[in-house]
Amino acid sequence: MVELPESLRAALEDELSSLAPKRVAALTAALSQRYRSAASNLATSTGSSFVPSPGDVAAYAAYRIPATFAAVAAVLKEVRERLPGWEPRSLLDAGAGPGTVAWAAAAVWPGLAKATLVERESGMIALGRRLAARAASDLVRDATWLQVDLTGSWPDVSPHDLVVLSYVLGEIQPGRAEALVNQLWEMTGGALILVEPGTQSGHARIRQAREWLAGAVIGATVVGATVIAPCPHGGPCPMGADDWCHFAQRVARSRLHRQAKGGELSYEDEKFSYVAVSRPGLPAAPVRARVLRHPQVRSGHIRLELCSATGGLTSEIVTRKDRERFKEARDLRWGSGIQWSEAGW
């Protein structure tokens, strides 16, 4: 279960204290419908603002910050596991919204010293700055904000160790997405992370971007990225057309979050798809396989659905007779990376 940092939770509650709960819920429902409509009509999108009013910005904060923080934090922690000797010092967040990624990155890598947050919407930037003023992290408080349309003209931005594009590709017209991904790869000094909703279409966007990055070209030189997570291999994605790779992170719902979503449960599960790639030569800890579904625990055995390091999808049944492997399998969860070990993994 992931909870927002206390300073961020308190700042959000203060930000929304002037809005009646019913008003927040109504704005949230309208905003959600606007995003769904835009996502299904990208080819004819005019590039107009998704959050034209202060109320829309507030609704977005209540609706999406907790889930985005949880998903991005889970991905960053996995990247940290795969790159155990890597300590990034700079972060570039493209399409930063109210700066949620910077909060998550500061929690995972306290040594980060510089953050550049790129966002088109002035209302989001204003909200991000107000929230950041309450942060305990220097990285968040002192972040540099750039008001930029991601598919337009950028100012000169130097390479950053860690570059993140989260929940943005679905808002970009298909013809412009590849150029943006390749541009961000040029700005990546260490690792690039892309996150999308854990839907069939979200996975399709991640899968396409993964293919672009594998054959990325700068100038006349092929500088393909090394896939470090979640895939345990660098080959083509083995998923069939009717399936998709996604994971879930449980996030605690505050009173405000429950009101915004009209829910009663104290938690929700944010489903997401992602890919993390690195520059060739950055040492990564390999995994033998990735668990793609909730392990099926039965009497005397555990069934695992896996994506393997050989590039295929496999099912493995671990029985109680194999004590060491069974012991390890009991600790596996949906999304776990399975390491090679003395137990035979």
- State the pLDDT at residue 184: 97
Q: Which of 324, 317, 323 is nearest to 342 (CA)?
A: 324
- State the pLDDT at residue 257: 61
Return d(Cα 20, Cα 23) in angstroms, integer.
5
- State the pLDDT at residue 44: 45
* H-type alpha helices, the chain: 6-16, 21-39, 54-82, 100-108, 122-132, 138-141, 174-186, 200-214, 255-261, 323-330
Q: Which DSSP letter does residue 164 get? A: E
| Residues 6+ away with beta carbon under 8 Å from 143 | 99, 102, 115, 116, 117, 132
- State the pLDDT at residue 45: 46
Q: pTM surpassing 0.75?
A: yes
Q: pLDDT digits over 4-23, tens only?
A: 999 999 999 888 887 777 77
Tokens linked to 302 = 């555990």
* Residue ranges of the chain that CATH labels 3.40.50.150: 6-278
Q: pLDDT digits over 256-266, tens only?
A: 666 666 666 77
DSSP string, 25-46: HHHHHHHHHHHHHHHTTGGG--
Q: Residue holding tokens 């308190």?
A: 10
- State the pLDDT at residue 16: 81
Q: Provide the CA 302 distance to its chain's centre, in angstroms.
A: 29
Q: Which residue ranges in the chain fall short of pLDDT 50?
A: 44-46, 222
- State the pLDDT at residue 40: 58
CATH architecture of the domain with range 6-278: 3-Layer(aba) Sandwich (3.40)
- State the pLDDT at residue 26: 76
Q: Which of 205, 57, 48 is nearest to 126 (CA)?
A: 57
- If DSSP codes are grouped into helix, strand and coil, which group holds residue 284? coil
Return d(Cα 135, Cα 269) in angstroms, integer.
25
- State the pLDDT at residue 57: 85
Angle, helices 100-108/54-82, rounded to nearest 10 degrees = 30
What length is written for the chain?
345
Q: Do residues 135 and 160 make contact, with C-beta atoms less than 8 angstroms apart? A: no
Return d(Cα 246, Cα 89) in angstroms, integer.
29
- State the pLDDT at residue 268: 86
